[in-house]
């Protein structure tokens, strides 16, 4: 993205040429199924504005840059489905704050990106519009289609394939970090409350956060600066923290940076190939002047049941609005209102959404609320406190994003719990509301990408991006592309 | 649901539930109308809209 900006501003090429090139790339990569809808005219229209403004004071930070937008964001007049059949054909009459911010910064839109239904999933296999296929293939034989991860699978695949220069994603339990790790790109989830959730179709309100996904930390810093900012009138969970320029301290030296390494992230569940790549990445950080400190996050494994109680509970409440009354799918045959609700929701929701709504409703029900939901919220506080203890000894925390590299599409479909267990390293940061990122750190079995996770303390995004940027100046993993792209 | 039994083993007797990740009081705004006159936009996605209303099966006997 940095090269696109300087090339556009320097007159090497026009914004129109950028938009045309990416529109063609998007049209030529339909096999990935990364997009639910393509909007080439939007990219061209924003390019025209950028070209007219070039050389004047009206050039904004993202003028000339077209982006992919995860289909969880309400985009005015453009289909927004959240990966679900229950919203087929839904065209929001309003724009999400995040996409409005990006547009105000001059960015155009290439299209809406496919995702797990209502952001519930880690492999983009629960989408009602078909799975996204990773542009990566294993190098050790076989042509099996692999998952790009999820729920921001379309965003990750599109960035990794080079058909978009950057994309928006959302992260509730790891949905930016894990697909970034699986596809060898960079992604960051800011501190909870830093990005407005207005217009972001809600899954778990106390966990959802928007964030950028792009090739480099520098690109993510540019996008995150536009994305974040207070929105008090429309999002009551939006923090009163001013917008920040996250590119300012990207180049600061990291000598003396204390990197906490949680021993619980390096247990038996971590695949050997991933462990090797992460260990090598940590050694690289030592070469850059950082100091590794062993820390403990004792309740790491408890984060799985805690999350899979809290998130479905919040989802069961948020998804109750899909009833066929005011918008979205409505069943055709029904004899009364109750039957209309039942048939509409039975037809419109996929299995994973139904599963989570049922779990959520159960744990919130009278008689179970204290044992499940309340207990989970208490343990959540203990998990957040564990991080605060750890941050007394270190500046950032580093470890794997996922226990393995990307798996084959269909491999885990029969056992949803197996994919829940794979979220163990990203869930704790989400529960605590801390900022977290994934950057390409090397390769594992079959030549598949492995991401390094960095977790910062509240409002520590600039430090994370700085640490990632310095790593990317010393390595080239973030420049590697899948074969054929 | 089996794993959630693990949670019962944790002693949380002295812990307050975490309902807000970062403490912030709910902001209030002035009770002033700043929106409106968007009926058609609101009805645009309705599965069944009639006479400017959302139409649903009869609710009251």
Tell if the CB–CB gap between A381 and B48 is shorter than 8 Å. no
E-state strands within chain B = 49-50, 53-54
- Can you say whether the dihedral through the CA atoms of B38, B41, B42, B48 is positive or negative? positive
Query: pLDDT band at A295, cuts 50/70/90?
Result: very high
| Residue A195 contacts B, CB cutoff 8 Å | no
Separation between Cα atoms, residue A382 and residue A388, nearest integer Å:
10
Tell if the CB–CB gap between B21 and A377 is shorter than 8 Å. no
- Residue A474's pLDDT is what? 97
Contacts of A330 in chain B (CB under 8 A): 47-48
pLDDT digits (tens, 9 = 90+) for B4-58: 777 878 887 778 888 777 777 788 888 898 888 899 999 999 999 999 999 998 8
Q: Give the mean model confidence (pLDDT) for residues A309-338.
A: 95
Separation of first and last alpha carbons in chain B: 41
Place of tokens 């004899």: A335
- Residue B1's pLDDT is what? 62
Residue A277, judged by CB atoms within 10 A of its CB (0-12, 13-18, 19+), counts as buried
**DSSP secondary structure letter of residue A372:** I
Distance from CA of A374 to the nearest CA of B (A): 7
Could you give the ipTM of this predicted complex?
A: 0.87
pLDDT at A288 over 90: yes
Residue A435 in tokens: 């900022």
Q: How many CB pairs under 8 A join A and B?
A: 108
Distance from CA of A79 to the nearest CA of B (A): 11
For A115-141, b/e burial (b = at least 16 CB within 10 A) is: bbbbbbbbbbbbbbbebbbbbbbbeee
- DSSP of A145-173: -B---SSSHHHHHHHHTTSSSEEEEEESS
Tell if the CB–CB gap between B54 and A326 is shorter than 8 Å. yes
Considering only CB atoms, which residues of chain B are within 8 Å of chain A? Answer: 1, 3-4, 6-8, 10, 12, 15-22, 24, 26-27, 29, 38, 41-42, 44-48, 54, 56-59
| Residue A310 contacts B, CB cutoff 8 Å | no
Contacts of B42 in chain A (CB under 8 A): 93, 326
Q: Say if CB A152 and CB A72 are below 8 A apart.
A: no
Q: Say if CB A102 and CB A136 are below 8 A apart.
A: no
Distance from CA of A433 to the nearest CA of B (A): 6
| Residue A333 contacts B, CB cutoff 8 Å | no
- When CB atoms are compared, the residue of B12, B15, B44 closest to A93 is B44
Distance from CA of A31 to the nearest CA of B (A): 30
**Overall residue count recorded for chain B in this entry:** 61
Separation between Cα atoms, residue A187 and residue A216, nearest integer Å:
8
Residue A240, judged by CB atoms within 10 A of its CB (0-12, 13-18, 19+), counts as exposed
Contacts of B54 in chain A (CB under 8 A): 325-326
Beta bridge partners of A78: A75
Q: Select the residue from A241, A317, A323, A379 to test the B interface by mutation, using most B Cβ atoms within 10 A.
A: A379
With CA atoms as reference, report the closest residue to A83 among A198, A197, A201.
Answer: A201
Contacts of A378 in chain B (CB under 8 A): 10, 12, 15-18
Share of chain A above pLDDT 70, in %: 100
Q: Quick check: pTM over 0.90? A: yes
pLDDT digits (tens, 9 = 90+) for A336-375: 999 999 999 999 999 999 999 999 999 999 888 888 899 9
Separation between Cα atoms, residue B33 and residue B24, nearest integer Å:
25
Residue A200 in tokens: 């972001």
Q: Say if CB A228 and CB A243 are below 8 A apart.
A: yes
Distance from CA of A337 to the nearest CA of B (A): 5
Query: pLDDT band at A418, cuts 50/70/90?
Result: confident
pLDDT digits (tens, 9 = 90+) for A148-195: 999 999 999 999 999 999 999 999 999 999 999 999 999 999 999 999
H-assigned helices in A288-336: 303-318
Q: Cβ contacts of residue A23 below 8 Å, gap of 6+?
A: A38, A40, A43, A44, A66, A110
Question: Looking at chain A, which residue has its C-alpha nearest residue B10?
Answer: A379
Which of A:354-373 have CB within 8 Å of B? 359, 363, 371-372
CA distances (Å), origin A124, targets A108, A158, A181, A407, A481: 25, 13, 14, 12, 20
**DSSP secondary structure letter of residue A408:** B
Sheet holding A449-456, edge to edge: A35-38, A108-113, A66-70, A166-171, A209-214, A186-189, A436-443, A449-456, A396-400, A258-262, A291-295
Contacts of B57 in chain A (CB under 8 A): 334-337, 340
- DSSP of A32-58: G--EEEE-HHHHHHHHHHHHHHTTSTT
Query: pLDDT band at A412, cuts 50/70/90?
Result: confident
Separation between Cα atoms, residue A165 and residue A4, nearest integer Å:
9
- When CB atoms are compared, the residue of A325, A336, A374 closest to B17 is A374
pLDDT digits (tens, 9 = 90+) for A173-183: 999 999 999 99
Contacts of B44 in chain A (CB under 8 A): 91, 93
Share of chain A above pLDDT 90, in %: 95
Q: Is the peptide bond before A441 cis (omega within 30 degrees of 0)?
A: no
Distance from CA of A430 to the nearest CA of B (A): 10
- Residue A375 half-sphere exposure toward CB, CA atoms < 13 A: 19
pLDDT at A115 over 80: yes
pLDDT digits (tens, 9 = 90+) for A437-478: 999 999 999 999 999 999 999 999 999 999 999 999 999 999
Tell if the CB–CB gap between A380 and B18 is shorter than 8 Å. yes
Q: Cβ contacts of residue A418 below 8 Å, gap of 6+?
A: A412
- DSSP of A194-243: SS--TTB--S-TTT-EEEEEESSHHHHHHHHHHH----TTT-TT------
Place of tokens 């406190």: A385
Q: Under DSSP, is residue A423 helix (H, G, I), strand (E, B) or coil? A: coil
Separation between Cα atoms, residue B45 and residue A478, nearest integer Å:
42
Q: Give the mean model confidence (pLDDT) for residues A423-436.
A: 97
Contacts of B15 in chain A (CB under 8 A): 378-379, 381-382
Query: pLDDT band at A55, cuts 50/70/90?
Result: confident
Separation between Cα atoms, residue A183 and residue A162, nearest integer Å:
11
pLDDT at A404 over 90: yes
When the pLDDT of each residue in chain A is averaged and rounded to a whole number, the result is: 96
Q: Annotated active-site positions of A, please?
A: 70, 151, 175
Q: Give the mean model confidence (pLDDT) for residues A16-28.
A: 98
Residue A272 in tokens: 């050997």
- Residue A227's pLDDT is what? 98
């Amino acid at each position: 993205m940095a090269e696109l900006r300087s090339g556009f501003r320097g007159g090497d090429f026009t914004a129109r040429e950028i938009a045309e090139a990416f529109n063609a790339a998007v049209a030529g990569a339909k096999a990935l199924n990364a997009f639910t809808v393509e909007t080439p005219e939007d990219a061209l229209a924003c390019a025209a504005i950028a070209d007219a403004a070039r050389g004047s004071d009206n050039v904004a930070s993202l003028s000339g840059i077209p982006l992919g937008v995860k289909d969880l964001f309400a985009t005015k007049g453009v289909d927004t489905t959240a990966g679900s059949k229950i919203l087929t054909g839904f065209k929001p009459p309003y724009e999400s704050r995040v996409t409005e911010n990006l547009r105000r910064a001059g960015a155009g839109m290439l299209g809406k990106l496919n995702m797990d239904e209502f952001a519930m999933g880690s492999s983009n296999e629960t989408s009602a519009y078909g799975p996204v296929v990773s542009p990566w293939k294993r190098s050790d034989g076989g042509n099996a289609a692999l998952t790009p991860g999820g729920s921001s699978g379309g965003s990750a695949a599109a960035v990794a394939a080079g058909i978009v220069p950057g994309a928006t994603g959302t992260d509730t339990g790891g949905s930016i970090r894990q697909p970034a790790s699986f596809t060898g790109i960079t992604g960051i989830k800011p501190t909870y409350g830093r990005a407005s959730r207005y217009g972001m179709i809600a899954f778990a309100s106390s966990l959802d956060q928007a964030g950028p996904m792009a090739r480099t930390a520098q690109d993510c810093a540019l996008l995150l600066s536009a994305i974040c900012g207070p929105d008090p009138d429309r999002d009551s969970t939006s923090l009163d923290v001013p917008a920040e320029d996250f590119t300012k301290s990207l180049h600061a030296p990291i000598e003396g940076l204390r990197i906490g390494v949680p021993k619980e992230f390096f247990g038996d569940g971590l695949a050997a190939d991933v462990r090797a790549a992460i260990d090598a990445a940590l050694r690289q950080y030592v070469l850059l002047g950082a100091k590794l400190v062993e820390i403990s996050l004792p309740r790491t494994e408890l984060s799985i049941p805690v999350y899979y109680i809290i998130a479905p509970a919040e989802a069961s409440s948020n998804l109750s609005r899909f009833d066929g009354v005011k918008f979205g799918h409505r069943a055709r045959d029904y004899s009364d209102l109750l039957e209309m609700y039942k048939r509409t929701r039975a037809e419109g929701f996929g299995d994973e959404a139904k599963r989570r709504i049922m779990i959520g409703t159960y744990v919130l029900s009278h008689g179970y609320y204290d044992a499940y939901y309340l207990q989970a919220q208490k343990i959540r506080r203990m998990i957040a406190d564990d991080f605060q203890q750890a941050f007394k000894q270190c500046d950032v925390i580093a470890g794997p994003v996922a226990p393995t590299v990307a798996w084959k599409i269909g491999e885990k479909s029969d056992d949803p719990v197996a994919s829940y267990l794979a979220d163990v390293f990203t869930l704790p940061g989400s529960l605590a509301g801390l900022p977290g990122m994934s950057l390409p750190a090397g390769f594992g079995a079959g030549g598949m990408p492995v991401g390094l996770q960095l977790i910062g303390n509240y409002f520590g995004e600039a430090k994370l991006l700085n640490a990632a940027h310095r790593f990317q100046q010393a390595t080239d993993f973030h420049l590697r592309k899948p074969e054929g792209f | 649901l089996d794993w959630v039994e693990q949670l019962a083993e944790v002693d949380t007797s002295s812990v307050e539930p975490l309902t807000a990740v970062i403490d912030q009081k709910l902001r209030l705004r002035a009770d002033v109308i700043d929106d409106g006159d968007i009926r058609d936009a609101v009805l645009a996605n309705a599965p069944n809209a009639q006479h400017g209303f959302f139409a649903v099966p009869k609710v009251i006997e």
